[in-house]
Amino acid sequence: MHRRFLTFALATLTAATLTACTAGTESAPALGSQPRPSGSASAALPASTIELWHGFSAPAEVKAFEDAIAGFRTKFPQITVKLVKGVQDDQITQAVRGGKAPDVASSFTTDNVAQWCRSGTFQDLTQVIKQDGIDLSVLPEVSRSYTEYEGRRCVMPLLADAYGLYYNKALMKGEQPPRTLSELTALTKKLTVRDADGTIKVAGFMPSFQYYENTASHLAPMVGATWYKPDGTSAVGSDPAWKELLRWQKELVDWFGYDKLEKFRKSLGQEWSADHPFYKGKIAMVLDGEWRNAMLANEAKDVDYGTAPLPVSDAKPDLYGGGFTAGTVIGVPKGAKNPQAAWELVKYLTTDTSALVTLSNALRNVPTTKASLESPDLVKDANFQTFLDIFAHPKTITIPASVNSTFNQDSLQEFMVRWEKGSVTDLDAGLAAVDKRFDDKLKLSGG
């Protein structure tokens, strides 16, 4: 009897262990298996309530989402849309794994798109896009690239971010914004103001990689640096553009003095507050996203500023005008209870010109379709237009989709911080170590 009991207990334990691997299998209908409205027959879709999770949390942002969805509610009165704000990527993944997926989910970043596409966390939209005859060429190529992975399009671009240079006209001493790295260096030195003891009072430009938006991904387009080789392994160590960027940056850091620059950096106000150093006249030129226009309008109306594309490598003047872009993505997670209604909402939000323009006007992000970019309803001034141009520029790049996107960005960023501090003596060896880290992780993730 004891033996039988033991056998039973062991069998139960083994079964439980093994079944744990398959938990979370969905019983919800898959996308394409439910009735869909044909053409303008919106009533063909059954009444339902769908839930949309998004990352926005400020009242104005939440209201913008509500306003953008108003058109969908008119078109599909039988569908109730419930919005859930302030959701992060890992919450989405865990909800899908736990069988509690929302019908629609959106993310502020493109970092997890590859992982979501590969694992099936988000459903493949290829078939319904084809069924509904959506022409994806209405999206710039760069937006198409950050919303798919290995042929699976599991999300659509909702709004995009583009990065450029903001300059404080009062601090520019009549100078024009720089177009090349050498011009940026010269202007930084000219515009920097120090106390008698060398303490920095105003920086022409903050070269520190630890400063807010000065990340590897945002700076890479200035030198045309690439992340991966065609086989997906790291290109960081072999692409001379990274070395050019790092050497240029270190020279400028050393001109400031690392310790003095760090002291200055730590004295600056928070990035997402009204104490931002650009508002306070502490920095003359900053790299930032298009959203800063809206923040300046709300928090620092008196700052007289201009915007321009980021300066580029002296050896690659054709890069000028481009920059970095990525953006908000939206899709239908696996296990969505009403996938067809969810897809209709995704389609509406990502392809309807009016919805995109409404969102862009309220959130001051870049709309993603060509029609919305050219819409007369899109509110734009010269400063915002700079970012629309950067987004549409053929040299604008993004981080290619990778299952280790976050890990790889963190790894390079960590190396760059050690580099600027002077802790790295051999740049080639350091970058080779970054390569190895990327590639080891790639192997762990199954290539």
Q: Which residues bind another protein (CB under 8 A)?
A: 9, 13, 16-18, 20-22, 24, 55-57, 86-90, 93-94, 96-97, 107-109, 111, 115, 118-121, 266, 270-272, 334, 404, 406-407, 409-410, 413-414, 417-418, 436-437, 440-441, 443-446
Contact 401, 204 (CB under 8 A): no
Decide whether 21 or 382 has the Cβ nearer to another protein: 21
**Number of other residues whose CB lies within 10 A of the CB of residue 3:** 7
**Least separation, in Å, of the C-beta of 119 and another protein?**
4
**Least separation, in Å, of the C-beta of 157 and another protein?**
15
Decide whether 20 or 196 has the Cβ nearer to another protein: 20
Return phi, psi of residue 205, to 5°: -155, 145
Decide whether 247 or 418 has the Cβ nearer to another protein: 418
Q: What is the DSSP string of 137-180?
A: GGS-HHHHHTTEETTEE--EEEEEEEEEEEEEGGGTTTPPPPSB
**Number of other residues whose CB lies within 10 A of the CB of residue 432:** 15
**Least separation, in Å, of the C-beta of 120 and another protein?**
6
Distance (Å, whole) CA 254 – CA 403: 36
Distance (Å, whole) CA 125 – CA 42: 20
**Least separation, in Å, of the C-beta of 259 and another protein?**
11
**Least separation, in Å, of the C-beta of 265 and another protein?**
10
- CA 123 from chain center: how many Å? 20
Distance (Å, whole) CA 400 – CA 409: 11
Distance (Å, whole) CA 364 – CA 163: 13
DSSP percent split of the chain into helix, strand, coil, nearest 5 = 45, 15, 40
**Number of other residues whose CB lies within 10 A of the CB of residue 212:** 19
State which H helix or E strand residue 371 sits in.
helix 370-374
**Least separation, in Å, of the C-beta of 263 and another protein?**
8
**Least separation, in Å, of the C-beta of 41 and another protein?**
35
Decide whether 315 or 444 has the Cβ nearer to another protein: 444
**Number of other residues whose CB lies within 10 A of the CB of residue 273:** 10
Contact 168, 284 (CB under 8 A): yes
**Least separation, in Å, of the C-beta of 306 and another protein?**
26
**Least separation, in Å, of the C-beta of 106 and another protein?**
10
Decide whether 262 or 314 has the Cβ nearer to another protein: 262
Distance (Å, whole) CA 403 – CA 408: 9
Nearest to 51 by CA among 90, 95, 89, 113: 95
Decide whether 212 or 387 has the Cβ nearer to another protein: 212
**Least separation, in Å, of the C-beta of 55 and another protein?**
3
Decide whether 15 or 371 has the Cβ nearer to another protein: 15
Decide whether 57 or 78 has the Cβ nearer to another protein: 57
Nearest to 248 by CA among 177, 163, 313: 313
* Residue that has been written with the tokens 């692409």 in this structure: 239
Decide whether 226 or 413 has the Cβ nearer to another protein: 413
Decide whether 96 or 156 has the Cβ nearer to another protein: 96
Decide whether 115 or 368 has the Cβ nearer to another protein: 115
* Residue that has been written with the tokens 């920097």 in this structure: 192
Contact 162, 325 (CB under 8 A): yes
Distance (Å, whole) CA 372 – CA 279: 30
**Least separation, in Å, of the C-beta of 69 and another protein?**
19
